[in-house]
Structure 1
Amino acid sequence: MRFRKPRPENVETAYAVEKIIRDADAVPATMAILYYRMTSFLSAADIDFPVA
Protein backbone atom coordinates (compact mmCIF):
# COMPACT_ATOMS: atom_id res chain seq x y z
CA MET A 1 0.00 0.00 0.00
CA ARG A 2 1.45 3.30 -0.99
CA PHE A 3 -0.82 6.31 -0.63
CA ARG A 4 2.48 8.03 -1.54
CA LYS A 5 3.60 7.60 2.06
CA PRO A 6 6.36 5.47 3.58
CA ARG A 7 5.68 2.38 5.66
CA PRO A 8 4.09 2.11 8.23
CA GLU A 9 2.21 5.36 7.63
CA ASN A 10 0.77 4.03 4.36
CA VAL A 11 -0.74 0.96 6.10
CA GLU A 12 -2.18 3.14 8.86
CA THR A 13 -3.75 5.35 6.20
CA ALA A 14 -5.30 2.33 4.47
CA TYR A 15 -6.92 1.14 7.70
CA ALA A 16 -8.09 4.66 8.59
CA VAL A 17 -9.74 5.16 5.19
CA GLU A 18 -11.40 1.73 5.38
CA LYS A 19 -12.78 2.60 8.84
CA ILE A 20 -14.27 5.85 7.54
CA ILE A 21 -15.96 3.95 4.73
CA ARG A 22 -17.28 1.21 7.07
CA ASP A 23 -18.57 3.85 9.52
CA ALA A 24 -20.64 5.20 6.60
CA ASP A 25 -22.23 1.72 6.23
CA ALA A 26 -20.39 1.06 2.98
CA VAL A 27 -17.98 -1.67 1.94
CA PRO A 28 -14.42 -0.55 1.19
CA ALA A 29 -12.88 -1.85 -2.01
CA THR A 30 -9.23 -1.23 -1.27
CA MET A 31 -7.18 -2.04 -4.37
CA ALA A 32 -3.53 -2.81 -5.04
CA ILE A 33 -1.27 -4.59 -7.45
CA LEU A 34 -0.18 -7.82 -5.76
CA TYR A 35 1.73 -10.59 -7.45
CA TYR A 36 1.65 -8.53 -10.70
CA ARG A 37 -2.17 -8.56 -10.73
CA MET A 38 -4.74 -5.91 -9.86
CA THR A 39 -6.48 -7.02 -6.67
CA SER A 40 -9.49 -5.49 -4.93
CA PHE A 41 -11.31 -6.07 -1.63
CA LEU A 42 -7.99 -6.64 0.13
CA SER A 43 -7.75 -8.61 3.36
CA ALA A 44 -5.69 -7.39 6.32
CA ALA A 45 -2.90 -9.75 5.22
CA ASP A 46 -2.96 -8.17 1.75
CA ILE A 47 -2.79 -4.66 3.20
CA ASP A 48 0.17 -5.65 5.38
CA PHE A 49 1.93 -7.27 2.39
CA PRO A 50 5.56 -6.11 2.40
CA VAL A 51 6.41 -4.02 -0.64
CA ALA A 52 10.00 -3.91 -1.83
Structure 2
Amino acid sequence: MPKRIALVAGASRGAGRGIAYALGDAGMIVYVTGRSTNEQTTDNRSETIE
Protein backbone atom coordinates (compact mmCIF):
# COMPACT_ATOMS: atom_id res chain seq x y z
CA MET A 1 0.00 0.00 0.00
CA PRO A 2 1.45 3.42 -0.91
CA LYS A 3 2.34 5.93 1.80
CA ARG A 4 -0.18 8.68 2.40
CA ILE A 5 1.00 12.26 2.24
CA ALA A 6 -0.39 15.24 4.18
CA LEU A 7 0.26 18.98 4.03
CA VAL A 8 -0.35 20.87 7.28
CA ALA A 9 -0.39 24.66 7.12
CA GLY A 10 0.27 26.56 10.33
CA ALA A 11 2.12 23.65 11.92
CA SER A 12 4.51 25.68 14.04
CA ARG A 13 2.14 25.79 17.02
CA GLY A 14 -1.31 25.04 18.37
CA ALA A 15 -3.74 22.74 16.61
CA GLY A 16 -1.69 22.63 13.41
CA ARG A 17 1.34 21.36 15.29
CA GLY A 18 -0.72 18.71 17.07
CA ILE A 19 -2.28 17.57 13.81
CA ALA A 20 1.12 17.32 12.12
CA TYR A 21 2.49 15.18 14.97
CA ALA A 22 -0.59 12.95 14.99
CA LEU A 23 -0.42 12.36 11.24
CA GLY A 24 3.28 11.55 11.49
CA ASP A 25 2.64 9.14 14.35
CA ALA A 26 0.01 7.47 12.16
CA GLY A 27 2.72 6.74 9.58
CA MET A 28 1.98 9.46 7.06
CA ILE A 29 4.57 11.55 5.25
CA VAL A 30 3.89 15.08 6.53
CA TYR A 31 4.95 18.35 4.93
CA VAL A 32 4.47 21.40 7.12
CA THR A 33 4.40 25.16 6.75
CA GLY A 34 4.59 27.71 9.51
CA ARG A 35 6.46 30.68 10.84
CA SER A 36 10.12 30.89 9.97
CA THR A 37 12.94 32.20 12.15
CA ASN A 38 14.24 34.06 9.07
CA GLU A 39 11.39 36.56 9.33
CA GLN A 40 11.20 39.47 11.75
CA THR A 41 7.53 38.74 12.50
CA THR A 42 8.12 35.78 14.82
CA ASP A 43 8.72 37.90 17.94
CA ASN A 44 11.40 35.41 19.07
CA ARG A 45 8.78 32.75 19.78
CA SER A 46 10.12 29.29 20.59
CA GLU A 47 7.62 27.48 18.36
CA THR A 48 8.98 28.74 15.04
CA ILE A 49 10.22 26.31 12.41
CA GLU A 50 13.99 26.18 11.97
User: Do they fold alike, i.e. is TM over 0.5?
Assistant: no
User: What is the TM-score of this pair, normalised by structure 2?
Assistant: 0.36
Higher RCO (Cα < 8 Å, 6 or more apart): 2
Larger Rg: 2
